[in-house]
């Protein structure tokens, strides 16, 4: 009798464990879908927005800014602030994204807000993989593209229109450079 009760208890525990695992995966799948489709953080640059020429922009190296990339290749335009916690947290993944896609400095333009000490530190990290333009020089591009969140990462198509924009480097990496 005691053995039978033990077997029943073991079976009930096994069924409970299996049910718990199934429910956990189901809830996880439902939440993933909700976060993927949720608009809890607005995308700041609408798809299809034209990135014009800004001949007065100069990067931190003193070189005039020109639209990046080859005629047939997409490029990345980012808006970063060194006082922004999200920007700092996402920086290692953003640098990895740039390296993983073998982008030249000409294919990655970073518009940056920050004081000189922040800029020096950032230039050491980001300057090797991206051309950095200070916000003081780039105020017009921020207004024209309606950038409202920091960070913002945009994939710009060869025709100079925004193909994708996000505030998450994880979404950027998941999306990749395809236009």
Any idea what DSSP says for residue 65? P
User: Residue 56 falls within a domain, yes or no?
Assistant: no
Kindly state whether residues 34 and 79 are assigned to the same domain.
Answer: no
Is 0.85 surpassed by the pTM of this model? no
Kindly state whether residues 170 and 84 are assigned to the same domain.
Answer: yes
Using an 8 Å Cβ cutoff, are 110 and 80 in contact?
A: yes
Residue ranges of the chain whose pLDDT lies below 70: 19, 21-43, 67-71
Kindly state whether residues 151 and 81 are assigned to the same domain.
Answer: yes
Kindly state whether residues 87 and 170 are assigned to the same domain.
Answer: yes
Instruction: Tell me how many helices (H) and strands (E) the chain has.
Output: 5, 5
User: Residue 61 falls within a domain, yes or no?
Assistant: no
66-98 confidence digits (pLDDT tens): 765 556 889 999 999 888 888 989 999 999 999
Question: What's the CATH number where 127 sits?
Answer: 3.40.30.10
Rounded to the nearest integer, the mean pLDDT of the chain is 82
DSSP string, 85-136: HHHHHHHHHHHHHHHHTT--GGGEEEEEE--HHHHHHHHHHHTTTSEEEEHH
User: Residue 18 falls within a domain, yes or no?
Assistant: yes
Share of the chain above pLDDT 70, in %: 83
The parent domain of residue 29 ranges over 1-38
């Amino acid at each position: 009798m005691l053995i039978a009760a033990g077997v029943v208890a073991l079976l009930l525990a096994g069924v409970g464990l299996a049910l718990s695992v199934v429910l956990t995966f189901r809830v996880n799948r439902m939440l993933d879908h909700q976060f993927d489709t949720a608009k809890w953080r607005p995308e700041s640059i609408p798809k299809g927005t034209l990135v014009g020429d800004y001949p007065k922009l100069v990067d931190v190296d003193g070189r005039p800014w020109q639209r990046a990339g080859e005629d047939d290749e997409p490029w990345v335009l980012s808006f970063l602030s060194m006082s922004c916690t999200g920007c700092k947290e996402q920086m290692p993944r953003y640098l990895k994204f740039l390296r993983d896609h073998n982008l030249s400095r000409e294919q990655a333009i970073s518009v940056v807000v920050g004081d000189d000490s922040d800029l020096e530190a950032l230039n050491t990290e980001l300057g090797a993989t991206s051309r950095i333009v200070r916000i003081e020089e780039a105020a017009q591009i921020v207004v024209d593209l309606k950038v409202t969140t920091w960070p913002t990462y945009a994939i710009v198509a060869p025709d100079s229109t925004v193909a994708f924009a996000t505030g998450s480097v994880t979404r950027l990496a998941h999306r990749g450079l395809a236009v």
